[in-house]
Amino acid sequence: MVKMRPGTGGERFTPYGERTGDKSVVYFTRDLSAEGLLKIYQKVKAPLTGRVAVKLHTGEKNGPNIIPRPWVKELLAKELPEAAIVETNTFYEGDRYTTEQHRETLEVNGWTFAPVDIMDEEGTALLPVKDGKWFTEMSVGDHMLRYDSLLALTHFKGHMMGGFGGSNKNLGIGCADGRIGKKWIHQREGSDDMWSIDQEELMERISESTKATIDHFADHISYINVLRNMSISCDCEGTAAAPVVTPNIGILASYDILAVDQASVDLVYALPDIHPKDLRERMESRHAFRQLSYMKELGMGNDCYTLIDLDNEEAEIRPADAVRGVKPFEG
C-alpha cells in the first residue's frame, strides 16, 4: 500500500509551458528496431570513450518487456565491440539476488553475446553525493571504477514504487549495490519494512544516487530511453508484470538525463485520450514527477528541451507531433 504524505508536488505533471530555464537537445525516432537504435545512438556517442559500460535492465527470468536482445547485440557488435553490459544484484530476494542466481538469469534471458559485469560481485565503492539532502555518499558496485564512460540504455516503463523507470531509475537503483546502496535508498533506518521509503523521499533518494554516478563519469555519459512495451510494472517484476496497454512510441536520446526522462514522460502525456491512461495514473499515484523536479534542483539537467525528429530531416517537433498516429498496443 502506498502511503500518502505531504510532499512537493510529485503527484502533478507540469505542462511544458509552465517550465522555465535553458533547453537541451533530445533526439527522437519512431523506428523501434535495431536500426532505429543504431540511428539514434549516432547522435549521442561522441563522449563514450575508453572502456565503456552499458547499463541496462537485463530483467528477471523470461521477462517479456525488456529491450530486445538482438537490438543490443547489433549495437554492441557494430559500435561498441569492447563494451561490457553492467548490472548489480538486487535488494529483494529473487532471480538476481546473488551473483550466482544473477548469472543464471542472464543466461536464461539471452544476455550471452557480450561480457556482463555484475559490478558488486566482489565489493562496493563509495561515490560522493554533492549537495544531497539524504546522502553525502552512495554505495555502488566497485567494478564501476573500471570504466571510463557510461551509456544508460533504458527501457522506459512504469514502476511499482517509482511511478516510472527512466534513465534516472536505471542508474540510481541499478548502479547502487544490492546490499548497502539499495538499502539506503529503500529502507528507513530502524524499520523492519524494506520498502519503508516512498513517494517524494524515494524519488529524491533515487536522484541523489544517480547524481553520484553521473558526477563520477562527468562528461563521458549518454542516455537512450526506449519507449516500447511500457507496462506499469518494472522489468524487475518479470512474468508477473501487468499487461501492456500503452502504445509503443519510439526511442529518445540525449546528453541530458533530466531532458530525456522529461521528454519520455511528456510523450506519454501527449498520447491522445483514446489510449489507456494507466501509465499516467501510475506516475501520479506514486508522486513520480518528484524525480524530475528534484533532478532540476540538483542541477542535473534541464526540463526544457528541443525535440529533434530523426525520421524527418531533423525537424524540430513537439511531443504531440511525435505521438501523432500511434497505434493501440498489440501484444
Closest CA to 165 of 263, 252, 291: 291
pLDDT at 293: 97
At residue 7, the pLDDT reads 57
* CATH number for the segment(s) 16-323: 3.40.50
Q: Which residues contact 164 (CB under 8 A, 6 or more apart)?
A: 156, 157, 158, 261, 264, 265, 279, 282, 283, 288, 291
> What single-letter amino acid sits at 210?
T
**Contact indicator for 225, 154 with CB cutoff of 8 Å:** yes
- SS3 label, residue 261: helix
Cα–Cα distance between 203 and 223 in angstroms, integer? 19
Low-confidence ranges of the chain (pLDDT < 50): 1-6
Cα radius of gyration rounded to whole Å, the chain: 18
> CA-CA distance, 100 to 282, in Å (whole number)?
33
Distances (CA, A) of 230 to 48, 112, 245, 254, 278: 27, 24, 8, 20, 10
pLDDT of 230-253, one tens digit each?
999 988 888 888 999 999 999 999
| Pairing state between β 157-159 and 250-254 | unpaired
Looking at residue 236, its pLDDT comes to 84
The predicted pLDDT at position 237 comes to: 82
pLDDT of residue 311: 98
* pLDDT tens profile 272-307: 999 999 999 999 999 999 999 999 999 999 999 999
Q: Residues 6 or more apart from 49 whose CB is under 8 A from it? A: 148, 149, 220
